[in-house]
């Protein structure tokens, strides 16, 4: 056999082996050879999945099939919620009996308040046809009340207060209205409000019930001339104020002006009593002299004294120099008052005084106010009354900080404003003085009784109160703490 014949045979055998190999049946090695009697995890997972799907299908499909036939049931459920509202509303109306007070709050309309009482439009129109009732409803203010009366749900009465405290009442019978007015139960009481000064006389007075006007009377009329309320008063000092309180239907509606007031500083009693003479109301000392003096004690209320009268080292110049006035420390812009009635001599720049005002009070007396930040609208030659604002605290001129420099001159000679004596005002005389004593004795008695209970002591001030009460009750001139002699040069 030739070589070529061998090659052909070998190629044929190889082709046959390739064919047999490609067409051979192969079984995967990972497949199990049949059920072994136990389920694997995969078997249990498949069984759970198919079971869950079967339950869901069994529950959903019957519901879908029953929907078209359930319309009657749905209609029946809907109709069960229809409530007989008109019948309930009528029952509420019939329950209204007696008087019902309605208070108007913020953002509430009058029509809504009337509707809350189940008043029909016909009833509301009936009320609006009565002029006075219509006006009362229109003027129904926030916080005010109106009262409505019902009998078995039928409106038969309305009442409301007037400004004077009286009560207007309407009896309603159909379209008929019967009006009546009940006068207010008014009572006036004379009371004494007492307390200790504490941190502030103003704050303590407010705490006792005094209003701003009454407190201003204390600070600007009664005690302004004899007491420096910043320097002379301590926290343990006490005050008493007599006022009239007016009650209307049991409610406090007003208080009078201050009828009398006392302020005890240490062992010294300061007091003032309100009295009218020649049509003018003023406050007087217990012996009948007007409290209003020719000059107020301090041009700035409550300002502390920062520098006294006399020799001192000048804070700017650094040399010993006579300080010809006194200084009051206050913040820039604090108002400065004229110490007394006067004519303006000058108002403008004045050397080391900076912006300054000089006032002429007559009889050779002048006052100077220096270092102002600005001067009020005054001009030379103008007349100003005591207490008029003439300027504002500043630090102009030779000054190291905001304060008022205040000088008092008599005949051109500088005097200490705190110690110089002034003319005493003319006292009441004759029948007027006796009338004053009678009025002052009533206030004194009330103050003494209240202070004896509130403070329960026998201080020198209590002794002074008793002595003054005894004298005024007898129509005699009582002793006072100090008397102001005639003005004299020192």
Cα distance between residue 90 and residue 285, in whole Å:
72
Let me know if domain 305-415 sits in CATH 1.10.260.40. no
pLDDT, position 78:
47
Q: For residue 12, how many C-alpha atoms fall within 13 Å in the half-sphere facing its CB?
A: 6
Per DSSP, the three-state class of 391 is strand
Of 385, 176, 163, nearest to 296 (Cα)? 385
Provide the 3-class DSSP secondary structure of residue 222.
helix
Q: Which residues contact 64 (CB under 8 A, 6 or more apart)?
A: none
Q: How high is the pLDDT of residue 490?
A: 31
- The domain made up of 89-182 has a fold known as Nuclear Transport Factor 2; Chain: A, (3.10.450)
Considering the chain, tell me which residue range(s) the CATH 3.10.450.350 domain(s) occupy.
89-182, 185-293+424-490
Q: How far apart are CA 368 and CA 356, in angstroms?
A: 7
pLDDT in single tens digits along all 490 residues of the chain: 555 565 777 777 777 777 776 666 554 444 455 555 567 777 777 778 877 887 777 777 655 555 554 454 444 454 544 455 443 343 344 457 888 888 888 888 888 888 888 887 888 888 888 888 888 888 888 888 888 888 888 888 888 888 777 888 888 888 888 888 888 778 889 999 999 999 889 999 999 999 999 999 998 889 887 887 777 888 888 999 999 998 877 778 889 999 999 998 888 888 899 998 878 889 998 888 888 888 888 899 878 888 888 776 766 666 677 888 999 999 999 999 999 999 999 999 999 999 999 999 998 999 999 999 999 999 999 999 999 999 999 999 988 899 999 999 999 999 998 888 666 777 888 888 889 888 888 888 888 888 776 666 555 555 666 666 666 666 666 656 543 333 333 3
**Phi/psi of residue 8, nearest 5 degrees:** -65, -40
pLDDT of 341 = 92
> Which residues is 343 bridged to in the sheet?
360, 383
Looking at residue 474, its pLDDT comes to 60
pLDDT of residue 175: 84
What is this structure's pTM? 0.53
Q: Indicate where the chain has its CATH 2.70.70.10 domain(s).
A: 305-415
Q: Is the distance from CB of 433 to CB of 427 less than 8 angstroms?
A: yes
Q: Which CATH number fits domain 185-293+424-490: 3.20.20.30, 3.40.30.10, 3.10.450.350, 3.40.50.720?
A: 3.10.450.350
Phi, psi of 292 (to 5 degrees): -65, 120
Rounded to 10 deg, the angle between the 121-129 and 131-138 helix axes is 110
Instruction: Identify which of 294, 298, 239 has the alpha carbon closest to the alpha carbon of residue 272.
Output: 239
C-alpha count within 13 angstroms, C-beta hemisphere, residue 200? 7
Query: Can you give the pLDDT at residue 451?
Result: 76
Per-residue confidence (pLDDT) for residue 467, from 0 to 100: 62
Instruction: Fill in the DSSP letter of residue 341.
Output: S
What local confidence, expressed as pLDDT, does residue 362 receive? Answer: 92
pLDDT digits (tens, 9 = 90+) for 438-468: 888 888 888 888 877 666 655 555 566 666 6
Q: How far apart are CA 428 and CA 242, in angstroms?
A: 22
Structure confidence at residue 34 (pLDDT)? 52
């Amino acid at each position: 056999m030739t070589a070529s014949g061998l090659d052909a045979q070998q190629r044929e055998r190889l082709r046959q082996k390739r064919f047999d190999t490609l067409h051979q049946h192969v079984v995967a090695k990972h497949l199990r050879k049949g059920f072994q009697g136990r389920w694997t995890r995969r078997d249990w997972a498949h069984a759970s999945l198919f079971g869950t799907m079967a339950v869901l299908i069994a529950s959903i499909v019957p519901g879908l099939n029953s929907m078209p036939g359930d319309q009657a049931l749905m209609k029946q459920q809907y109709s069960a919620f229809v409530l007989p509202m008109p019948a309930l509303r009528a029952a509420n109306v019939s329950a209204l009996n007696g008087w019902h007070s309605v208070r108007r709050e913020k953002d509430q309309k009058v029509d809504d308040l009337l509707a809350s009482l189940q008043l029909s439009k016909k009833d509301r129109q009936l009320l609006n046809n009565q002029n006075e009732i219509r006006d009362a409803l229109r003027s129904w203010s926030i916080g005010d009340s109106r009262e409505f009366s019902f009998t078995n749900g039928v409106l038969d009465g309305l009442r409301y207060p007037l400004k004077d405290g009286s009560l207007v009442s309407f009896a309603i019978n159909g379209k008929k209205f019967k009006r009546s007015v009940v006068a207010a139960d008014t009572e006036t009481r004379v009371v004494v409000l007492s307390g200790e000064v504490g941190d502030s006389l103003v704050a303590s007075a407010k705490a006792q019930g005094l209003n701003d006007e009454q407190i201003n009377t204390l600070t600007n009329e009664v005690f302004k001339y004899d007491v420096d309320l910043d320097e002379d008063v301590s926290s343990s000092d006490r005050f008493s104020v007599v006022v009239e309180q007016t009650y209307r239907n049991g409610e406090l509606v007003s208080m009078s002006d201050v009828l009398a007031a006392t302020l005890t500083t240490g062992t010294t009693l300061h007091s003032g009593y309100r009295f009218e003479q020649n049509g003018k109301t003023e406050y007087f000392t217990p012996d009948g002299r007007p409290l209003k003096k020719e000059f107020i004690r301090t041009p700035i209320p409550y300002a502390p004294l920062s520098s006294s009268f006399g020799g001192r080292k000048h804070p700017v110049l650094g040399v010993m120099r006579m300080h010809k006035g006194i200084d009051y420390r206050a913040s820039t812009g604090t108002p400065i008052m004229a110490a007394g009635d006067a004519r303006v001599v000058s108002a403008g720049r004045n050397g080391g005084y900076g912006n300054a005002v000089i006032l002429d009070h007559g009889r050779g007396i002048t006052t100077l106010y220096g270092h102002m930040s600005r001067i009020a609208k005054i001009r030379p030659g103008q007349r100003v009354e005591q207490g008029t604002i003439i300027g504002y605290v500043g630090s102009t001129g030779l000054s190291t900080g905001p304060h008022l420099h205040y000088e008092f001159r008599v005949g051109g000679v500088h005097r200490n404003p705190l110690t110089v004596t002034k003319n005493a005002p003319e006292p009441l005389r004759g029948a007027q003085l006796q009338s004053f004593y009678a009025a002052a004795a009533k206030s004194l008695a009330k103050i003494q009784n209240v202070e004896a209970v509130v403070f329960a002591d026998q201080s020198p001030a209590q002794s002074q109160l008793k002595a003054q009460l005894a004298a005024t009750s007898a129509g005699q001139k009582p002793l006072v703490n100090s008397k102001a002699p005639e003005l004299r040069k020192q």
